[in-house]
Every structure is written in structure tokens, then in C-alpha cells.
Amino acid sequence: MERLVDVAPGVRLWAEDLPATGPDPEPEPVLLVMGANASGLVWPDALVDRLAERHRVIRYDHRDTGRSTWAFDEHPYAVTDLAADVVAVLDAFDVPRAHLVGMSMGGTLVQLVLLDAPGRVATATVFCTAALGGYGSPDLPAPPAELLALWEHLADPRDAPAELDWRVAHWRALSGTGTPFDAEEFRALERRVIAHAGRHDNPAAHARAAQTGLDRGAELAAVEVPTLVVEAPEDPINPPPHSGHLARALGRGRLVRIPGMGHAITRTVVAPLAAAILTQTTLTPTAGAVAAQDPQR
């Protein structure tokens, strides 16, 4: 089921609610939170299908992506507003609590929800992301210069064929060298994303969104929601030791590593990533169970 969700005056998000395909009569929901400037359709169908064997799966387009409202210049916002959108999507689907899965900036948004609305989160899984406030530390590397140079052209005007070529080249840079890169896999993905949005331009709105309110890394130690941090060793944006730093910073964080994974969900990592997420969502005692044992919580 697809629907539009009102999250702010003049701002609507496209969202999709996919029913579970397994035998559980009351499957717990999973909300997928994608990275910066990326539509919810970047979540591969193969991964969504694996998760749907056990869960109701909800994915959505951030503001200024996909079929959601594109109006940053008229309605500027902060990254923290995108975190509030996560909760607004749960509200729209009458979901009191869900398992959250966040990639890249989506992992940042999940961390903010863990701090500000922990009761809405059963478990969390984040990957290809950094701890809140983590950048700027001499012990945590920044993205390489060649990737930063590529990002300088993120919002350059291009015709549709040139934009498609740029996006494939970008995915190649993000994927790293740990697994073979299939350009046609990502060309097909981006053709679908462009068709879904009905436009090929990219205003890079999330790169312009205000960064205020993100320096909250010290608060992560108080997070009691079980959180899995998936380490992608070939990730050029948030390479090790970012993932280990985040796992240690969280009150109930744990770390798993998917060999060869970069900053992309390639066909080769779908199976291990799905297995890691499902282990977290189906076998991990939830924060609700912990809270039930502690009436003061």
C-alpha cells in the first residue's frame, strides 16, 4: 500500500507499507530509513523481500527525493527535521513501535530517534554511518579527497543520460573494491529511481540542510534500545573504525562485520545484510522487555 504522509505544512512524504509474507499473524513492523539524497526505492527489493518473510516492511522517500515534496528552497529544514519525519511516518501508519534500519544519513536519523523517542524503537540496526558528533575527531577518518571532489558536482545540472552516468560513477566510488562492481545493476536501480520520481535532477537538498543539533555523541551511552552496528570495511565515507566507535558509544550496541561491503547495498551483500538485520529483529531482547523489568525506567 502506498500513501502520502503529511509531515509539515506544505510537505508530504511518499511511503509504502508492504505486508509480511510469512506465517506470523501479527508481524512486527520494520521501518527502513535511507541515506542522504536517496529515495526509498534504493532499498533493494531482494532485501525488502527477505525482511518481509518475518516483518511488515515500511519504506519512504525523504523530503526532496522520489515522490515526496521537493521544496527545500521554499521550506528549508535541518537534518533533525528529517529525524522527526521518521516518527511522523510511524504515526501515519499507526505504528507505536518498530524496528528501525538506517543506512548512512539514515543511521544518523535513527540515532536521533533513539535519543528523542526511544519508546518508538523495538531494536535498531545502522550501517555505513558514523556516531553523532563523530566527525572532526583525529581518530576517525573523513571521506577521501577524491570522493569530496566528486560531491562538489552532486547538484550540477545534467541532462538525463549524463545524470545517469554520474550516478553510476558515484555508486562505483561508494562501493569500494571489496566486491565486484556491476555497473548495470546500479544503472537499472537509478533508472527505476528516476522513473519513480518523475525527474532526474538532484538538488542535493540534504547536503544543504542545517547540521545543528547533531553533536550529541555523549548521549548515546544512555541508549537502552538494542542497536546493531554493521561494519562495512570497504566504506569510503565511514570506514573502520567509525563503526566500532559507534558500537562502543551506544549503551546496548554490538558490532558485526560484512566482509567486502562498501557504502552500497550490492547484490552480493543482500543475503548477509538481511541475515544480520533479522538476527537483530527476531532474536534480540528488546528495550521494552528491559523496561518491563525496571518499573523506574
pLDDT in tens, 199-241: 999 999 999 999 999 999 999 999 999 999 999 999 999 999 9
The tens digit of pLDDT for each residue in 157-173 reads 999 999 999 999 999 99
pLDDT at residue 290, as a whole number: 43
Residue 57 covered by a domain: yes
Residues 126-153 have a mean pLDDT of 91
Verify whether residue 75 is a known catalytic residue: no
Residue 197 covered by a domain: no
Asked if the model's pLDDT at residue 294 lies above 90, the reply is: no
Q: Which residue is catalytic, options 61, 206, 235, 245?
A: 235
pLDDT at residue 139, as a whole number: 83
The tens digit of pLDDT for each residue in 45-96 reads 999 999 999 999 999 999 999 999 999 999 999 999 999 999 999 999 999 9
Residue 282 covered by a domain: yes
Q: Which residue is catalytic, options 68, 104, 175, 243?
A: 104
The tens digit of pLDDT for each residue in 258-289 reads 999 999 999 999 999 999 999 999 988 865 54
Asked if the model's pLDDT at residue 292 lies above 60, the reply is: no
Q: How many domains does the chain have?
A: 1
Verify whether residue 263 is a known catalytic residue: yes
Verify whether residue 68 is a known catalytic residue: no
- Residue 135: pLDDT band with limits 50, 70, 90: confident
What is the Cβ-side half-sphere exposure of residue 22, based on CA atoms within 13 angstroms?
15
- Residue 291: pLDDT band with limits 50, 70, 90: very low
Asked if the model's pLDDT at residue 132 lies above 70, the reply is: yes
Is the bond leading into 241 cis (omega within 30 degrees of zero)?
A: yes
- Residue 136: pLDDT band with limits 50, 70, 90: low
User: CATH no. for residue 130?
Assistant: 3.40.50.1820
Rounded to the nearest 10 degrees, the angle between the axes of helix 270-283 and helix 45-52 is 30
Residue 41 covered by a domain: yes
Quote the longest CA-to-CA distance of the chain: 59
SS3 206: helix
The tens digit of pLDDT for each residue in 24-48 reads 999 999 999 999 999 999 999 999 9
Residue 216 covered by a domain: yes
pLDDT at residue 296, as a whole number: 33
Residue 109 covered by a domain: yes
Q: How far apart are CA 40 and CA 18, in angstroms?
A: 13
217 Cβ neighbours under 8 A, 6+ residues apart:
131, 132, 133, 134, 249
Residue 162 covered by a domain: no
Q: What percent of the chain has pLDDT over 90?
A: 92
Range of the domain at 248: 2-142+204-293
Q: How far apart are CA 130 and CA 107, in angstroms?
A: 8
- Predicted TM-score (pTM) above 0.75: yes
CB 128 within 8 Å of CB 238: yes
Residue 187 covered by a domain: no
Helix residue ranges per DSSP H, 143-263: 145-151, 160-175, 183-197, 205-208, 242-249
Quick one: cell of 275? 541475515
